[in-house]
Chains A and B, each alone.
Chain A
Amino acid sequence: MHLAPTDEQQAIAQEARRFLTAQCTRERRLLWDASPSGHDDAFWRDVAALGWLGFGLPENVGGQGASLADLGLLIEECGRAVAPFGIFAAIAGGLALQALGTPAQRRGWLPRVARGETLVALATDELGAVADPACFRTVLSRRGKQLRLDGEKRFVLQGVTAGAFLVAARDGRGTTVVLVPAETPGVSVMPSSTLAKDRQSTVRFRSVALPVTAVCGAPRTAWPRLGRVRRTLAALVCADLAGGADAVLEMTVRYTGEREQFGSKLATFPAVQQMVASMAVDLEGARHVARQAIWRLAEGRPAAREVAIAKAWTGRVYRDITLMAHQLHGGAGYVVEHELHRHSLRAKQAELLFGGTEEWLDDLADQLKLAPA
């Protein structure tokens, strides 16, 4: 047992923290807010040059071959800095293609993903279907050797800058994942406005003709694999949440130590100390259930229970910590000049990503087998 990062892992986190602190300045964020991609080209090139976009991908496709546990620590730092969410989207899409794609698809796309030249976006959610593939209304049909894709996917992370989409579609009685380049005729991408102002898209597929080589793995059998990918991404997003919560606690300690009312620093008031300590109590468990879940996935241990616990707890904790931080910052933390709002909006939004708190508690209840099926 070793409940802390090793020295090498700490070095990963420290380098990431230094880079993100230097890059994510307030002025630059305001520019990014107004840009279509949510970041700028120079930033993206620098991120790619550090190897982050292929950090968890194997070396034979241009990745760094890092373990999920190391990747989780990198993502904790992205959460701490509320870094542009495109980084998470690119990492998530790369991992999804690595898990689902054919060798040819991986060779064709992942080296460019790792170099930051393109991005593969996972497109599974629909308005009426999230985790039950039988309910997908996106459909793959066949005429001879030609495939045809029709439907609409929502909440596609970083869809606006994606070079290809990994689309889950109903295919007869099964589920098939196809890789669809964004420029294929019949594909249209519309930005959607979201709480945390990240770059999500609605992607529409209208009579999109695809070759059979677009199919990822064996047709009609994608669901269990897709479910596992979703579980892994749910665990990784917990790292973002725990890192973000840590940053909010830090900024709250700092702010209450500076702000004076009634002639005293806020941090000297007992009520304030009690609230800040409560934030620390919740955060401690969140950090470790998140790391535990990711570590178990990295080591190939059974992790269904731990992932469900991590996602339900970190989602709740980050959200609650940001709300308490707003209470302690007052107006100072309510204005867009202050970074707190980025955390509080990201917290609630990320709580919903890959299944919200209540959804994962329901999954956990299933795992407990409390009643005969």
Chain B
Amino acid sequence: MRYEYTPEQVAWRDEVRAFCARHVSDALRAEMRQAGNEGDGPLAKAFHRQLFDKGWWGVGWPRDFGGMGKNAVEQYIFIEEMQAAGAPAMNLSITSVAPTILREGTEEQKARWLQPILHGEVDFAVAYSESAAGTDLAALTTKAELDGDEWVINGQKMWNTGAHTATHNWVAVRTEPDARKHQGISMIIIPMNTPGIEVQGIWTMSNIRTNAVFFDNVRVPRDHLIGARGMGFYYAMMALDFERIQLGCAGMLQRLLAELKTFVRRTKRDGRVLGSIPWVRRAMADLEMRVEVGRQVGLLNAWLIDQGVVPTKEGSIAKIYVSELNAHFASTGMDILGLAGQMGADESAPLYGRLQWLYTIAPLQRFGGGTNEIQRIIIAQRGLGMPRK
């Protein structure tokens, strides 16, 4: 038992922290707030380039493919520090698509896709859901049929966030119509400049744009199907497991908590320093406690991966805990800020309006990435052995 980083882990943390201190500027953070998800601005692109140059973009990828070969705890440390610095997030190409290609792709597919992903030349949106296939993902009906050496794709995807800026789409399609529903799905890469794709914007409560995407006889080469035919549902589930290191990381909350502490120390209301008001003290201590608990569950998930365990239960626990804490944190933090807490993202708003922004994305984090109710079923059935029927 040892609840402390090793000297190597401390050195890695300090290295990432020092890098962020040098390269994550106020201007970069302001640009990110401005851009929303309308693609990276020049400063974000420059920041990403620095990560590519250091080999940090593929922090968890094997060294043979240009990555750092860092284990899960080191990846957690990396993500925590990046989030705590307010740096641009790792994107889904890196955390979700590439690990699946690495695991399941042919040698030709790895050679073709991984380097461009690593260098930011290929950037994926992820298309799983459809209007009638959300939590029940295996009900999806978008189909791909083989015609000679090409797949022909027809159907409609929903919540295809980033499809309007991405170069490629990572699409779950039905390729085996006669197989049972979980076993008839495959993953296909579709370049977004292929004829027959229509992207319609959908605007959400958090100002994040997402998309409905229509595929009308879209043709891609046969080798754009990654891994085995009919295994796509399982790849999608596996990709979510990879993502949970990120979803279960409370680094962003650590940053917001530090900013909130500074705010209550410096701000007076009705002549009293906020931090001296009993209910504010109580609320701040409660947040400090909950964020530390979140750190523990996130670290445990990562540590178990490094022990060779598939932490199905712990990954779900981290996802549930951190996403629900986001909602609680946003609401409690806004209570402390008072009406100033509902100000939009402008320079005069306390914490740049990040808490009201968090309040609007918190519901998404609870139902996205596998709803928390599904996560609880996973904990109950796969973690605790409760019966399915």
Residues on A close to B: CB < 8 A?
1-6, 9, 69, 249, 253, 256-257, 265, 267-268, 270, 273-274, 276-278, 280-281, 284-286, 288-289, 291-292, 295-296, 299, 301, 305-306, 308-309, 312-313, 358, 361-362, 364-365, 368-372
**Structural contact, A280 and B4, CB atoms closer than 8 A:** no
Q: Any chain A CB within 8 A of the CB of B38?
A: no
- Specify which chain A residues have a CB less than 8 angstroms from the CB of B292 in the assembled complex: 289, 305-306, 309
| Most A CB within 10 A of own CB, among B261, B293, B300, B314 | B293
Contact A288/B297 with A274-B373, A365-B284 known, Cβ cut-off 8 Å = yes
- Specify which chain A residues have a CB less than 8 angstroms from the CB of B3 in the assembled complex: 1, 3, 288, 291-292, 295-296
Q: Any chain A CB within 8 A of the CB of B179?
A: no
Chain B positions 1 through 32: 1 when the CB is less than 8 Å from some CB of chain A, otherwise 0: 11111100100000000000000000000000
B265 to chain A, nearest CB (A): 6
Stretch among B87-95, B155-163, B221-229, B378-386 lining the A interface: B378-386
- Specify which chain B residues have a CB less than 8 angstroms from the CB of A270 in the assembled complex: 377
A360 to chain B, nearest CB (A): 8
A288 to chain B, nearest CB (A): 4
B191 to chain A, nearest CB (A): 41
Q: List 13 A-B contacts (CB under 8 A).
A: A1-B5, A1-B9, A2-B1, A277-B320, A288-B297, A309-B289, A312-B285, A362-B282, A364-B285, A364-B289, A365-B284, A370-B274, A371-B265
Q: Any chain A CB within 8 A of the CB of B376?
A: yes
- Specify which chain B residues have a CB less than 8 angstroms from the CB of A309 in the assembled complex: 288-289, 292-293
CA distance A313 to B321 in the complex (A): 14
Q: Any chain A CB within 8 A of the CB of B70?
A: no
State the majority secondary structure of interface residues on A. Answer: helix
**Structural contact, B296 and A295, CB atoms closer than 8 A:** no
B269 to chain A, nearest CB (A): 12
CA distance A276 to B276 in the complex (A): 39
Which B267-320 residues sit within 8 Å CB-CB of chain A? 273-276, 280-282, 284-286, 288-289, 292-294, 296-297, 299-300, 303-304, 307, 313-314, 316-317, 320
**Structural contact, B386 and A368, CB atoms closer than 8 A:** no
Chain B positions 303 through 346: 1 when the CB is less than 8 Å from some CB of chain A, otherwise 0: 11001000001101100110000000000000000000000000
Question: What 5 pairs across the A-B complex have the smallest Cβ distances?
Answer: A370-B275, A277-B376, A371-B276, A285-B293, A273-B380
Q: Any chain A CB within 8 A of the CB of B180?
A: no
Q: Any chain A CB within 8 A of the CB of B112?
A: no
Q: Any chain A CB within 8 A of the CB of B387?
A: yes
B67 to chain A, nearest CB (A): 22
Chain B residue with minimal CB distance to A366?
B281
Q: Any chain A CB within 8 A of the CB of B389?
A: yes
CA distance A53 to B277 in the complex (A): 44
- Specify which chain B residues have a CB less than 8 angstroms from the CB of A284 in the assembled complex: 297, 300, 314, 317, 321
**Structural contact, A292 and B296, CB atoms closer than 8 A:** yes
**Structural contact, A6 and B1, CB atoms closer than 8 A:** yes
Q: Any chain A CB within 8 A of the CB of B103?
A: no
Chain A residue with minimal CB distance to B2?
A2
- Specify which chain A residues have a CB less than 8 angstroms from the CB of B284 in the assembled complex: 365, 368, 370
A193 to chain B, nearest CB (A): 32
CA distance A277 to B379 in the complex (A): 6
- Specify which chain B residues have a CB less than 8 angstroms from the CB of A371 in the assembled complex: 264-265, 273-276
CA distance A278 to B73 in the complex (A): 25
- Specify which chain B residues have a CB less than 8 angstroms from the CB of A2 in the assembled complex: 1-2
B388 to chain A, nearest CB (A): 7
B308 to chain A, nearest CB (A): 13
**Structural contact, A5 and B317, CB atoms closer than 8 A:** no
- Specify which chain A residues have a CB less than 8 angstroms from the CB of B280 in the assembled complex: 370
CA distance A284 to B384 in the complex (A): 13
- Specify which chain B residues have a CB less than 8 angstroms from the CB of A256 in the assembled complex: 386
CA distance A159 to B276 in the complex (A): 40
CA distance A32 to B64 in the complex (A): 65
CA distance A154 to B213 in the complex (A): 70
CA distance A365 to B264 in the complex (A): 12
A3 to chain B, nearest CB (A): 5
Tell which of B275, B282, B317 touches A280, judged by Cβ atoms closer than 8 Å.
B317
B261 to chain A, nearest CB (A): 6
Tell which of A276, A365, A369 touches B384, judged by Cβ atoms closer than 8 Å.
A276
**Structural contact, A365 and B281, CB atoms closer than 8 A:** yes
- Specify which chain A residues have a CB less than 8 angstroms from the CB of B273 in the assembled complex: 370-372
Tell which of A253, A280, A288 touches B313, judged by Cβ atoms closer than 8 Å.
A280
- Specify which chain B residues have a CB less than 8 angstroms from the CB of A4 in the assembled complex: 1, 307
CA distance A125 to B379 in the complex (A): 42
Tell which of B4, B285, B307, B380 touches A368, judged by Cβ atoms closer than 8 Å.
B285
Chain B residue with minimal CB distance to A373?
B276
Chain A residue with minimal CB distance to B289?
A309
A1 to chain B, nearest CB (A): 6
- Specify which chain B residues have a CB less than 8 angstroms from the CB of A257 in the assembled complex: 386-387
**Structural contact, B380 and A268, CB atoms closer than 8 A:** no
B356 to chain A, nearest CB (A): 22
Chain B positions 353 through 371: 1 when the CB is less than 8 Å from some CB of chain A, otherwise 0: 0000000000000000000
B313 to chain A, nearest CB (A): 7
CA distance A280 to B383 in the complex (A): 9
**Structural contact, B288 and A368, CB atoms closer than 8 A:** yes
CA distance A179 to B293 in the complex (A): 39
- Specify which chain A residues have a CB less than 8 angstroms from the CB of B389 in the assembled complex: 268
B379 to chain A, nearest CB (A): 4
CA distance A371 to B293 in the complex (A): 24
**Structural contact, B293 and A313, CB atoms closer than 8 A:** yes
**Structural contact, B289 and A312, CB atoms closer than 8 A:** yes
Tell which of B1, B300, B375 touches A295, judged by Cβ atoms closer than 8 Å.
B1
